[in-house]
């Protein structure tokens, strides 16, 4: 069955993302240095992020709110207003960060578009993701843009139905084993894992063992050839 729908993640698949979050985290650690060592601050922030996902969802705005909560938890009444101002500014910088495409992405999208309809499937804050997509210059490459609150098997099942394909005609490619690969496989699609050096621990998961519809790629540019091999 030929591939008709090619679903692609955005952050850290098409453009750099984690490097900006990590730079923002380092800014938070500098602010909290008088109150907690870096390891404690990181652990507190991560626990706060996970706890807040159900309230704020994914993205830079939720991350900024979690940074503020972390600072209040570690600094308490001793936390000066100037510290909160610095954290808010770090969050604004994160929201304004430049969009830097990975090398060869535009050529890869051209090749992929010759093999099927391209759909961007990303999660996070709607406004921020729309802003990044506009800044990337890639928007007109896609037949559809899907900005979702989370990625799970039901997300993909509904997406496949909306675009009129059975799961075996769809492939999902991305850098998150938890959000891109495992739910797409559960939904019955093919899935290509393109790992990056920088990854949020929440998105990590064990790879499926000897799964017939799974492939790990060194870079997204390998995806067109893998799709060809499926035919």
Render pLDDT for 184-197 as a digit per residue (tens, 0 to 9).
Answer: 999 999 999 999 88
Per the CB < 8 A criterion, the answer to whether 17 and 59 are in contact is: no
Residue 224 scores a pLDDT above 90: yes
The answer to whether residue 17 scores a pLDDT higher than 80 is yes
Average pLDDT over residues 172-192: 97
Lowest mean pLDDT: which of 53-57, 110-114, 167-171, 177-181?
53-57
- Would you say residue 228 has pLDDT above 80? yes
Domains in the chain, ordered, with CATH?
Answer: 5-16+100-230 (3.40.50.1000), 18-95 (1.10.150.240)
Average pLDDT of the segment spanning 91-113: 96
pLDDT given for residue 162 in this prediction: 97
Pick from 69-73, 109-113, 145-149, 201-205: least confident: 201-205
Look over the chain and give the mean of its residue pLDDT values, rounded to a whole number: 94
pTM for this structure?
0.91
Instruction: Tell me: pLDDT of 198 over 80.
Output: no
Residues 6+ apart with CB under 8 A from 128: 59, 60, 61, 95
pLDDT beyond 80 at 1: no
Whole-angstrom distance, CA of residue 10 vs CA of residue 174: 8
User: Which of 99-103, 125-129, 221-225 bottoms out in mean pLDDT, i.e. has the lowest?
Assistant: 125-129
Length of the chain: 231
Write the CB contacts of 229 (distance below 8 Å, at least 6 apart in sequence): none
- pLDDT (mean) for 194-219: 86
């Amino acid at each position: 069955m030929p591939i008709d729908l090619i679903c692609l993640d955005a952050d850290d698949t098409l453009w750099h993302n984690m490097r900006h979050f990590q730079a923002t985290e380092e800014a938070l650690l500098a602010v909290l240095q008088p109150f907690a060592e870096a390891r404690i601050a990181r652990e507190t922030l991560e626990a706060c992020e996970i706890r807040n996902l159900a309230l704020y969802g994914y993205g830079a705005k939720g991350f900024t709110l979690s940074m503020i909560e972390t600072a209040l938890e570690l600094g308490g009444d001793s936390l000066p207003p100037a510290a909160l101002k610095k954290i808010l500014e770090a969050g604004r910088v994160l929201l304004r960060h430049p969009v830097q495409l990975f090398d060869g992405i535009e050529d890869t999208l051209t090749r992929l578009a010759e093999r099927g309809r391209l759909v961007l499937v990303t999660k996070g804050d709607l406004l921020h993701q729309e802003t990044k997509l506009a800044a990337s210059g890639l928007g007109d490459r896609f037949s559809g843009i899907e900005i979702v609150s989370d990625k799970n098997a039901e997300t993909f099942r509904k997406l496949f139905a909306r675009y009129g394909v059975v799961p075996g005609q769809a492939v999902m490619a991305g850098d998150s084993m938890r959000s891109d690969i495992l739910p797409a496989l559960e939904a019955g699609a093919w899935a290509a894992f393109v790992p990056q050096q920088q990854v949020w621990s929440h998105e990590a998961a064990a790879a499926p063992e000897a799964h017939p519809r799974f492939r790990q790629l060194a870079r997204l540019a390998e995806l067109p050839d893998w799709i060809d091999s499926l035919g």
